[in-house]
Amino acid sequence: MRHPLSMVVIMALPNFAVVDVETSGLDVRRHRVLQLAVVTVNADGSVIDEWDTFVKLRWPMGRVGPTHIHGISRPMLKHAPTIDVVLNELDRRIGDSMFVAHNARFDGEFLLNATRRSRSNTTLPTTLKRRLCTLRMSRQLDPERVCSHRLTDLCDRYDITLDRPHEARSDALATATLLPHLLRAHDVNDVDDLEPFLDRIAHPARFSS
């Protein structure tokens, strides 16, 4: 029988909206979101909601970038919703959940820049002020940086299925499965315990892979 205290611990934590974006490049000022997925889970990893979508190119011959990595081509985006529609739906899906990503600065800054350029009226700029980063959580378990903390390597380490690396839904599901392992490893019991792993808003920049 579960101890009553464990129920208090779970209730003290929010739901987590685990997001992954695939982009046309690494520079948030020049490149664009091509694909997005969000998997909402609670603290024990139970899936509450899943959603993914491609994003229509602003111009028909717009850049799609490294197709050999993310597998996205122009024809796949032809009938996709616009970024305004996607951002509105993302905002609705996240709701009161905490935004999470593996390298939250990368995903968060791309989405912030997208909201700044769009005509959508969302609460995403406020939501993205507090971004939980699973990459940061994993690295803090390894202060000497002995291990790799790429998502693919963490999936191998924790025996998590990652069928299609660099595909937004697959990466988001893998990160959502990884999150409870990291919460337990850091003995996270309430919202305050998440503070060391939050990424704050940064100035737009080019990110390394």
The reply to whether 208 falls in a domain is no
The reply to whether 3 falls in a domain is no
The reply to whether 122 falls in a domain is yes
pLDDT at 201: 67
* Residues 135-164: tens digit of each pLDDT: 999 999 999 999 999 999 999 999 999 999
What is the domain range of residue 76?
14-199
The reply to whether 41 falls in a domain is yes
Task: Give residue 11's pLDDT band: very low, low, confident or very high (50, 70, 90).
Answer: very low
- Rounded Cα distance between 102 and 125, Å, is 19
pTM, full prediction? 0.89
The reply to whether 4 falls in a domain is no
The reply to whether 187 falls in a domain is yes
Contact 54, 89 (CB under 8 A): no
- Rounded Cα distance between 30 and 44, Å, is 38
Work out the average pLDDT over 56-84: 93
| pLDDT surpasses 60 at 4 | no
The reply to whether 184 falls in a domain is yes
Q: What is the CATH number of the domain that holds 125?
A: 3.30.420.10
- Rounded Cα distance between 111 and 125, Å, is 9
The reply to whether 9 falls in a domain is no
- Rounded Cα distance between 124 and 42, Å, is 20
| pLDDT surpasses 80 at 10 | no
End-to-end CA distance of the chain: 44
Total domain count for the chain? 1
